[in-house]
A and B are shown apart, each in its own frame.
Chain A
Amino acid sequence: DGGITQSPKYLFRKEGQNVTLSCEQNLNHDAMYWYRQDPGQGLRLIYYSQIVNDFQKGDIAEGYSVSREKKESFPLTVTSAQKNPTAFYLCASNSGKQETQYFGPGTRLLVL
């Protein structure tokens, strides 16, 4: 099946620890995105990448880092600098400018 996969479904982070969330797509999409969602609120853009080896900060990039070494993969690292990381993280992709974004199932990150 074509689609976007995110893993793990749930992730636990200890204080001061970096964690990496996986996002993979087999849709041959050029652009990929990471959003954060807090309870009862809409999505906020963290980072996006429109092409391999290039990415841009979104509205809330502080405390996060990304890489885009392969077209199908866009991992997000939540660093220890992110003081309030507990949230639902969503990855999305689309085939290019003006095209519809499609979302993965999400990863819920909890701080122990």
Chain B
Amino acid sequence: DAKTTQPPSMDCAEGRAANLPCNHSTISGNEYVYWYRQIHSQGPQYIIHGLKNNETNEMASLIITEDRKSSTLILPHATLRDTAVYYCIVRSRFNDYKLSFGAGTTVTVRA
């Protein structure tokens, strides 16, 4: 699987948008970008995924650059409950059995 690079931490003000970057410069054409988050001492929670088009759901938006070498997860209106570690994962369409979690980005939402 391709590796991803994320900043180790970032702060965000409550009510503002949080933009979480991820670099995946070696991604191949058959690999998706997935985002999960993990609130302290809980299981990871699926947020969103995409292949090449931008995606939006009730939790977040995913913006993937045209060359697919980077992406941004957008939490439109961050709340204190969004404080968590956010993981960007690249996953093959054909090799499903494993998700490779790195260290992620620790996001702290401040009042």
CB within 8 Å of B: which residues of A?
Answer: 4, 6, 31, 33, 40-43, 45, 48, 50, 56, 58-59, 88, 90, 92, 94, 96-106, 108
Q: How many residues of B sit at the interface, in one of the four size bands?
A: 20 to 34
User: By the criterion CB–CB under 8 Å, are A43 and B101 in contact?
Assistant: yes
User: By the criterion CB–CB under 8 Å, are B104 and A42 in contact?
Assistant: yes
Residues of A within 8 A of B68 (CB): none
Decide yes or no: A108 and B103 within 8 Å by CB, A98-B93, A100-B46 being known contacts. Answer: no
**B34 to A, closest residue via Cβ:** A100
Neighbour of A103 across the interface among B41, B44, B49, B104, CB < 8 A: B44
Neighbour of B45 across the interface among A41, A45, A97, A103, CB < 8 A: A103
Smallest Cβ distance from A29 to chain B, in angstroms?
12
B contacts with A: majority SS: loop
B100 within 8 A of A: yes
CB within 8 Å of A: which residues of B?
Answer: 34, 41-46, 49, 87, 93-94, 96-104
What is the bound-complex CA distance between A76 and B102, given in angstroms?
23
Residues of B within 8 A of A106 (CB): 41-43
Residues of B within 8 A of A102 (CB): 46
Residues of B within 8 A of A58 (CB): 97-98
User: By the criterion CB–CB under 8 Å, are B103 and A40 in contact?
Assistant: yes
Smallest Cβ distance from A99 to chain B, in angstroms?
7
Smallest Cβ distance from A23 to chain B, in angstroms?
11
